[in-house]
């Protein structure tokens, strides 16, 4: 979900001067005994008080490459570290990952202001550049091998950074972004509704001129290569933005608007490549059929494909491919053990051992390293499972299917009754203010107490002429996370299992919807807490 909007830019001339001071004034960079995400403070000029986290794998290579990885709105650096595969790929390939966090926490990057959209203009990019310079000086990072990636607001910032600092980045991968300058409002972290809705369209020349004339005027050197990802069902940042990004970067990089090649490397992944006259891919796009605002999906090949495009893996897989056989859509009943399901895959190289993993399985199910799925579903709903198989060279394949588990109240509309208090989940005063924490209140039958549990596992309330979704604030996964309302976006922190045992659990964290302090009073707030069987965690819908 997108609250404010962010930008990352490197003020190279300013920061190089600042870096000289930093090198003398700061202590050596902290290193954990075992590889872990480490927070770094006092890393240099930081006008917006960003937070810096860095991941240095135990297997880090000499003079390592640097990846700047940018979270989306309501996210953070630690969240991106835990919810994507870039850290494990760094373990495999020996590069360093910087995971910044915005300020205030959970906000979007600034991709809308005049400062953000110009080299050395100010705002978030100054702090981001300080992080990169610090990493180069204190961790031995290679200034000639710096890359950037990001999701949602971070995907937007990826485009901005590539435009503002073409001499710094060698390549970038933007997941669910918009073109550089599309989100312009002239205000810091502003919201541009027409751009988000896919209503801003320009010619390739117009888009390209914005990069050339506004971001870093006068720059004539080489430009970073660009990879772009978007889901066709994205309702937060419209899928049309992928086409506009493609027009911009093919124009900037001087390649044809017609793809040099098109293929489907994974089921429902439509890839286009735009090559130079020498045959080098300058722009690569992935259109993910049916995907919403959820990329990159952890446990799939998405992050690995991005790493490969940027060259962070050394491109040493040898070209072999893994194909996973789709087992077809599955059904089960909550509380009833399933018949074990064996997933199979083939490898184009002989003698390879395949290791299986999965994301999105129904709670209670798990997969073995050999591809056997077993267990007892613990809650109902419709789940999108992605099973991947990886060989010893790192080549990976995956397949996706749905698993429908009965025993849920999906599709029901009505009051969500707090059993222990005898009251109803209530949107205070029918507010449409995003981020409002929800409460319980005497049941009135009003629209602000009428919730729909839809097939996407969202709990939606209609107020002020529009729908809002119950949301785990800032994608929280800890006790005390506020239950708020926010614009519906299909992300996991807005998905809820309404279980046959009376609990309502967050798909993201598994925590229970909980009335604070087991209160029975009107206005008692609702949060997430470890499931404990208390009456303040019991709900009925309808």
Clarify whether 152 is annotated catalytic: yes
Cα 126 from Cα 102, distance rounded (Å): 12
Cα 461 from Cα 415, distance rounded (Å): 10
3-state secondary structure of 124: helix
CB 137 within 8 A of CB 192: no
Cα 123 from Cα 131, distance rounded (Å): 14
Residues 6+ apart with CB under 8 A from 114: 121, 186
- Encoding tokens for residue 450? 């009428």
| 65-82 CB burial, b ≥16 within 10 A, e <16 | bbbbbbbbbbbbbebbbe
Q: Output the furthest CA–CA distance in the chain (Å, rounded).
A: 71
DSSP 105-120: TTPPPB-SSTTTTSTT
> In whole angstroms, how large is the CA radius of gyration of the chain?
24
Angle at 456 between CA 455 and CA 457, to 5 degrees: 90
- Encoding tokens for residue 389? 């198989």
Cα 483 from Cα 46, distance rounded (Å): 32
463 φ/ψ angles, rounded to the nearest 5 degrees? -140, 145
CB 500 within 8 A of CB 461: no
Active-site residue, selected from the candidate residues 4, 65, 113, 152: 152
CB 200 within 8 A of CB 177: no
3-state secondary structure of 127: helix
Helix 12-25 / helix 124-138 crossing angle, nearest 10 deg: 50
3-state secondary structure of 150: strand
Residues marked as catalytic: 152
């Amino acid at each position: 979900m997108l609250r404010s909007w962010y930008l990352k830019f490197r003020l190279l001339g300013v920061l190089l001067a600042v870096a000289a001071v930093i090198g003398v004034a700061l202590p050596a960079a902290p290193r954990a005994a075992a590889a872990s995400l480490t927070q770094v403070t006092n890393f240099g000029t930081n006008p917006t008080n960003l937070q810096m986290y860095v991941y240095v794998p135990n297997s880090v290579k000499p003079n390592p490459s640097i990846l700047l990885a940018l979270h989306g709105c309501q996210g953070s650096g630690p969240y991106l570290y835990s919810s994507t595969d870039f850290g494990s790929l760094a373990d495999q390939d020996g590069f360093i990952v910087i995971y910044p966090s915005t300020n205030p926490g959970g906000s979007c990057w600034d991709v809308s202001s005049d400062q953000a959209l110009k080299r050395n203009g100010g705002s978030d990019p100054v702090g981001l550049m300080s992080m990169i310079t610090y990493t180069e000086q204190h961790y031995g990072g290679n200034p000639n091998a710096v890359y950037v990636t990001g999701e949602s607001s971070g995907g937007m910032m990826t485009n901005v950074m590539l435009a503002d600092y073409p001499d710094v980045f060698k390549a970038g991968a933007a997941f669910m972004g918009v073109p550089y300058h599309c989100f312009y409002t002239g205000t810091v972290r502003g919201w541009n509704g027409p751009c988000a809705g896919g209503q801003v369209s320009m010619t390739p020349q117009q888009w390209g001129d914005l990069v050339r004339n506004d971001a870093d005027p006068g720059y004539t050197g080489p430009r970073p290569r660009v990879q772009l990802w978007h889901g066709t069902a994205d309702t937060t940042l419209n899928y049309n933005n992928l086409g506009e990004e493609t027009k911009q970067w093919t124009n900037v990089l001087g390649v044809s608007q017609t793809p040099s090649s098109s293929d489907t490397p994974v089921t429902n992944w439509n890839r286009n490549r735009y090559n130079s006259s020498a045959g080098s891919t300058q722009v690569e796009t992935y259109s993910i059929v049916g995907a919403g605002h959820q990329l990159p999906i952890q446990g799939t090949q998405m992050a690995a494909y991005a790493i490969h495009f940027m060259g962070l893996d050394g491109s040493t897989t040898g070209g072999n491919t893994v194909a996973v056989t789709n087992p077809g859509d599955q059904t089960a009943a909550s509380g009833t053990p399933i018949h074990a399901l064996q997933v199979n895959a083939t490898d184009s190289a002989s003698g390879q051992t395949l290791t299986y993993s999965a994301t999105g399985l129904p709670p209670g199910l798990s997969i073995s390293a050999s591809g056997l799925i077993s267990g007892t579903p613990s809650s109902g709903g419709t789940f999108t499972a992605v099973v991947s198989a990886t060989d010893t060279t790192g080549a990976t394949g995956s397949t996706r299917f749905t698993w429908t588990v009965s025993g849920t109240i999906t599709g029901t509309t009505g009051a969500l009754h707090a059993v222990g208090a005898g009251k109803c989940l209530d949107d205070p005063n029918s507010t449409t203010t995003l981020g409002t924490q929800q409460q319980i209140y005497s049941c009135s039958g009003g629209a602000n107490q009428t919730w729909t549990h839809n097939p996407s596992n969202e709990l939606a309330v209609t107020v002020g002429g529009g729908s809002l979704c119950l949301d785990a604030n800032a994608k929280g996964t800890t006790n005390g996370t506020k239950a708020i309302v926010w614009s519906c976006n299909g992300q996991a922190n807005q998905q809820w299992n309404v279980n046959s045992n009376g609990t309502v659990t967050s798909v993201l964290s598994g925590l229970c919807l909980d009335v604070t302090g087991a209160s029975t009073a009107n206005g008692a707030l609702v949060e997430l807490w470890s499931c404990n069987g208390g009456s303040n965690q019991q709900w009925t819908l309808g």
